[in-house]
Amino acid sequence: MFYLVTYDIPNDTRRLRLSKALKDYGERVQFSVFECLLDEKLFAAMMERIKKEIDETEDRVRIYQVCEACKKTVTILGEGMLTEDPEVYIV
């Protein structure tokens, strides 16, 4: 499933830790936005990791699940492309 993860974290240290954690699950497409292609197990792992990195009294993280039909309606202006599942896996 495709997820869009956005965050607003005022603390520099927590923001950096979260961005490093999210790089393990997806691709950064803007400063505080990641696109992630995850199965249920990886999504659950990402959620646990996010919860460990943030302060829920100060930080805001939003995660949007984007269906296949909705992905086709995404408009991108400027540089970049929508994150897709790679067609070739190197093991």
Asked whether residue 49 is assigned to any structural domain, the reply reads yes
Asked whether residue 85 is assigned to any structural domain, the reply reads no
Counting the structural domains of the chain, the total is 1
The domain containing residue 64 runs over which residues?
Answer: 2-71
Asked whether residue 37 is assigned to any structural domain, the reply reads yes
Sorted by sequence, the CB contacts under 8 Å of residue 14 that are 6+ apart come out as 53, 54, 55, 59
- Looking at residue 26, which CATH number applies to its domain? 3.30.70.240
39 annotated to a ligand binding site? no
Whether 5 contacts 63, CB under 8 Å: yes
**Phi-psi region at 29: left, alpha or beta (left = phi > 0; alpha = psi -120 to 50):** alpha
Nearest partner of 63 among 81, 77, 84, 42, judged by Cα: 42
> What would the pLDDT profile of 62-72 be if each residue is shown by its tens digit?
999 998 888 88
Asked whether residue 80 is assigned to any structural domain, the reply reads no
Asked whether residue 82 is assigned to any structural domain, the reply reads no
**What is the spatial distance between Cα 48 and Cα 66, in angstroms, rounded to a whole number?**
20
| Mean pLDDT in consecutive groups of 10 residues from the start of the chain, 91 residues | 96 97 96 96 98 97 91 76 60 56
pTM above 0.85, yes or no: no
> What would the pLDDT profile of 33-44 be if each residue is shown by its tens digit?
999 999 999 999
Asked whether residue 34 is assigned to any structural domain, the reply reads yes
